[in-house]
Amino acid sequence: MRVVVSVGGSVLVPTLDSPRIESYAETLREVVASGHELGVVVGGGPVAREYIGTARELGADEVSLDRLGIEVTRLNARLLGEALGDVAAAAPIEAVEDARAAFRRGEVPVLGGTAPGHTTDAVAAGVAEHADADLLVYATSVEGVFEADPSEDEAARKFDRLSPAELVEVVNQVELVAGSNAPVDLLAAKLIQRSGLRAAVLDGSDPQHVADAVAGDHDGTDVVPE
Ligand code: UTP
């Protein structure tokens, strides 16, 4: 199976901690060893937010802020690439097209952001679409897709299964509420919808959840094409 895993920055590097990155890498290497083709997209996490917040105070425009965020996601991708060792593509990957090329060479593309205007959620969906992946896994800091942002509404229920159209609808609703955050952004949801990708959104705090999802078993939200 060809799998793209999006690892949130808050999941991989809540703080800079080598054992945590190594443990993610070990699990991802096991996924490869069990015969799957793997691509990984890494987010920026708290460090990206700090850089963006500081630069915003300094008057930077939104594109410049996005560029800072991209730099941090790429630094995080490099850390994971180092931990993955020889299975990772040798050269840093910076574009969706290069990720597909790495898949074709039998390497694991590990990338961060690509261009201003979106997040690594959409990059992961773009990589999965372009490389015709069988599964896209979002390893996030929440347990799945909820009907409302669980950090804003404690009573919000988690969906076990959604169609891509329902995912777009839910993300749209959640993002309409000021301050709320969906675990997958709207552009990513729309890419999932148009490409008919199968996706899983789950709690990535334990990397084993990602391996379990690749094996078809997880407690998050399944997004299943109609
Ligand atoms: P993230 O993908 O980590 O954003 O990229 P996020 O979803 O806001 O962060 P988490 O998942 O909640 O931790 C960090 C920032 O980098 C820029 C955006 O500004 C984004 O908010 N970015 C990232 C881009 O502009 N383009 C990309 O392709 C990726």
What pLDDT, on the 0 to 100 scale, is given for residue 176?
80
Lowest mean pLDDT among 16-25, 125-134, 152-161: 152-161
- The residue count of the chain comes to 226
Q: Which tens digits make up the pLDDT trace of 84-98?
A: 999 999 888 999 999
Q: Which tens digits make up the pLDDT trace of 144-178?
A: 999 988 888 889 999 999 999 999 999 999 888 87
Q: Is the CB of 44 under 6 A from ligand 1?
A: yes
Q: Strand, coil or helix: what is 221?
A: strand
Lowest mean pLDDT among 54-63, 122-131, 173-182, 194-203: 173-182
Residue 203 has pLDDT above 80, yes or no: yes
| Of 10, 81, 80, 78, nearest in space to 49 by CA | 10
Angle, CA of 43, 87 and 22, to the nearest 5°: 55
* Rama region for 144: left / alpha / beta (φ>0; ψ in -120 to 50; rest): left
Q: Which tens digits make up the pLDDT trace of 99-120?
A: 999 999 999 999 999 999 999 9
Mutational pocket test of ligand 1: of 111, 120, 121, the residue with most ligand atoms within 8 Å of the beta carbon:
120
Residue 179 has pLDDT above 90, yes or no: no
Q: Provide the CA 37 distance to its chain's centre, in angstroms.
A: 16
Indicate the burial class of 220 (C-beta count within 10 angstroms; 0-12, 13-18, 19 or more).
buried
State how beta strands 221-223 and 199-203 pair.
Answer: antiparallel
Q: What is the CB-side half-sphere exposure of residue 203 using CA atoms within 13 A?
A: 9
Q: Is the CB of 123 under 6 A from ligand 1?
A: yes
